[in-house]
Amino acid sequence: MKIAVIQGPNLNMLGVREQQVYGPMRLEQIHAQMKEFAEQNGIEIEFYQSNLEGEIVDRIQECYGDTDGIIINPAAYTHTSIAIRDAIAAVNLPTIEVHISNIYRREEFRQKSMTAPACTSSIIGFGPFGYHLAMVGMMQVLSEITAIRAAQQGAVQE
């Protein structure tokens, strides 16, 4: 099982920017915790962060045929990027959107996600722990997909 973690703009500044909103934890610390959980569960995990929309689209597209699922925090692009939404839809992989803050308790312009409708699920407002919840959720989603495919193959063979 291989999961790609894709981080959007300004997340490289976690621990520095707006700690009252995002907390003191740095992105490297979040990734270290995710890597440890992945290793404990036999999951291959890759991390990617970019401040550029086109690079995020490229990375999503690179997941096609190479990755089982995507955990993404599009950050500010959540509210504006049809291109990222379309890339998620195009690769048709289980995708969980994560937001550290509760976007529904923030400014009105942050309360609409352009990307969520293309995602399998969203985890919002749990702080950095949301990434752990996304890992657990992704394991469950991929397990269910595996079970459905096995059942379908069994039905075909009968």
Q: Which residues are catalytic?
A: 22, 99
Among the listed residues 24, 16, 11, 8, the one whose alpha carbon sits nearest the alpha carbon of residue 57: 8
